[in-house]
């Protein structure tokens, strides 16, 4: 058995070598502040994964993963790695502890988001496919994302 202290190379990736993108979002104002405490590490792209996205995301206390939303064509999956989060859906709120997961099938019009209501950061793995033509509906806002841009429900741009 040999031990190699050199950094791993694809297909292996050490997330500690990546730089998180804190609060990065293309949401229009006034929605950006809601994800200011979100720190996302993109894991799939550096490994050449192109059919689906994989992110390791940290939510600081008080932060949200996103605005409550659902996808027309994209499946989503989240797995809580560390800490505790609250899943907010049309049905209400559900506590998710480390080791728990949730899935959101494409086309299910039930907006979801994760919120960290605790006093410590929480981390989760998020996986979603990259279906062409996906439309994102933001359940609590006058906003949809389609054709690469945000629009009001009446079709006017943000």
Write the pLDDT tens digit of every residue in 115-131: 999 999 999 999 999 99
- Give tens-digit pLDDT for 9-52: 778 999 999 998 888 899 999 899 999 999 999 999 999 999 99
The answer to whether the CB of 30 falls within 8 A of the CB of 20 is no
Residue 6 in this model has a pLDDT that exceeds 90: no
The answer to whether the CB of 138 falls within 8 A of the CB of 30 is no
- Whole-number pLDDT of residue 133: 95
Share of the chain above pLDDT 90, in %: 86
**Phi/psi of residue 46, nearest 5 degrees:** -65, -20
Q: What is the mean pLDDT of the chain?
A: 93
- Whole-number pLDDT of residue 3: 55
Coil, strand, or helix at residue 96?
A: strand
- Whole-number pLDDT of residue 113: 98
What CATH number does domain 25-148 carry, 3.30.390.30, 2.60.120.10, 3.10.20.30, 1.10.10.10? 2.60.120.10
């Amino acid at each position: 058995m040999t031990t190699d202290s050199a950094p791993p190379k694809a297909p292996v990736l050490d997330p500690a070598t990546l730089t998180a993108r804190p609060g990065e979002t293309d949401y229009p104002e006034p929605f950006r502040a809601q994800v200011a405490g979100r720190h996302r590490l993109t894991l799939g792209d550096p490994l050449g994964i192109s059919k689906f996205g994989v992110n390791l995301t940290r939510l600081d206390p008080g932060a949200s993963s996103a605005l409550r939303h659902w996808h027309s064509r994209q499946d989503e999956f989240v797995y809580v790695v560390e800490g505790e989060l609250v899943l907010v859906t049309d049905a209400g709120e559900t506590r998710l502890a480390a080791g728990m997961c949730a899935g959101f099938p494409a086309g299910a019009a039930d907006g979801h988001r994760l919120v960290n209501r605790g006093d410590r950061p929480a981390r989760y793995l998020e996986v979603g496919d990259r279906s062409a033509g996906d439309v994102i509906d933001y359940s609590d806002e006058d906003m949809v994302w389609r054709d690469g841009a945000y629009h009001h429900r009446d079709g006017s741009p943000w």
